[in-house]
Each structure stands twice: as structure tokens, then as C-alpha cells.
Amino acid sequence: MHWKKSILALLLVSATAVQSVPAFELDIKASAETIVKNDFEVSYGGWYENADNVSMSVENGEGIDGSKAMFVSDRHNASEGISSDKSLYLTGGKNYVYNVNIKTSKSDTAYLRISYENNGKINNKVLKSEKTKAGKWTKITSKYKAPADAKNITI
């Protein structure tokens, strides 16, 4: 199996109106209220591989607090990884804070991206990028407000 990059991610999403590596956690908050939280303890939380060659699995004991984390592998470039449609939870025109915790197997740059549709066009945006250190957790936090008519919001 060819492994150019590995990602293990425990993702925690908290929404205050805002939105890889061996492990990650996502938390999205709106006004200090958590809207979405994916810690992979019970399910994949709607996360899927966003390229045919990418693989993902939940790994026990790899999470930021020793719990479960998502392991992502077989990435060939920075845009390949995992995604999740959060349209049921997030709407355009509101500010959200996105938090993602990522641990990479080697020092690299990790990206937090959002995609949404408005005016019949798909928009892709890097919310933030951070340098990672091999084997260490890195938190990426970004505030973002998609246009009021944004739909099909994916992280």
C-alpha cells in the first residue's frame, strides 16, 4: 500500500457561529453553544473520504484524551482527506467558530477548509492552516461567516 501522507485526526466542532494526520477532533460553536461535536466515540459523524484513494478508520486510544480518533491515510496531496456535510447544523449568514485538533505522523501543514454553495456556484475556502509537529496535537481554530444564502456547507 502506498502511503505518501498519513492522517489521524480527532475532530471536535463547536459553534459560536463559526467551523490530517493520524488523529483529529472537530468542535463547532455558535454563541458558546456547541452545535456539532464529532469525537468518533459512537460513529463516524457523517465523515467520508473525499478522494477515491483515501482511507479512514476509527482508532482506539489515539484521541487527544486517549479516546477514539479518526485515522486518515493514503493522501496524495493537501486537498485529499476527509469531509463531512454539516448542512443540518450550519446555515449561511451566521458566525461560527471551528476548532479541529490534529496529530500528524510527521511535521507538516494542516488545513481547515470549508465548502458551500451559493448563487449556483461551489465555493471552497481554506479557513486556516497551521504547522504541525510530528506526534504532537495541533489545534486549528477559525471564525467564519458564510454568505446568508450559503447551503450544502461541508467541512
Give the mean pLDDT of 2-6. 33
Please give the share of the chain, as a percent, with pLDDT higher than 90: 32
User: What would the pLDDT profile of 128-138 be if each residue is shown by its tens digit?
Assistant: 999 999 999 99
Q: Is 123 helix (H, G, I), strand (E, B) or coil?
A: strand
Write the CA distances from 7 to 44, 79, 83, 113, 119, integer angstroms.
15, 12, 13, 15, 34
CB 128 within 8 A of CB 138: no
- 15: nearest Cα among 105, 79, 90, 126: 90
Quote the CA–CA distance of 49 and 72 in Å, as a whole number. Answer: 8
Enter the C-alpha cell of residue 15.
459553534
- Answer whether residue 22 shows pLDDT above 50: no
Quote the CA–CA distance of 104 and 107 in Å, as a whole number. Answer: 7
Strand residues in 1-120 grouped as ranges (E): 5-15, 23-30, 33-38, 47-49, 55-59, 69-75, 82-84, 95-104, 108-118
State which amino acid sits at residue 155.
Answer: I
Q: Compute φ and ψ for 94, nearest 5 degrees.
A: -115, 145
User: What would the pLDDT profile of 43-100 be if each residue is shown by its tens digit?
Assistant: 777 888 999 999 988 888 888 888 888 888 898 988 888 888 888 888 899 988 888 8
Please give the pLDDT value at position 119. 92
> How many CB atoms are closer than 10 A to CB 91?
17
Quote the CA–CA distance of 51 and 7 in Å, as a whole number. Answer: 14
Q: Compute φ and ψ for 79, nearest 5 degrees.
A: -85, -10
pTM of this structure: 0.75
Ranking 28-32, 115-119, 123-127 by mean pLDDT, the lowest is 28-32
Total residue count of the chain as it appears in this document: 155
- Answer whether residue 12 shows pLDDT above 90: no
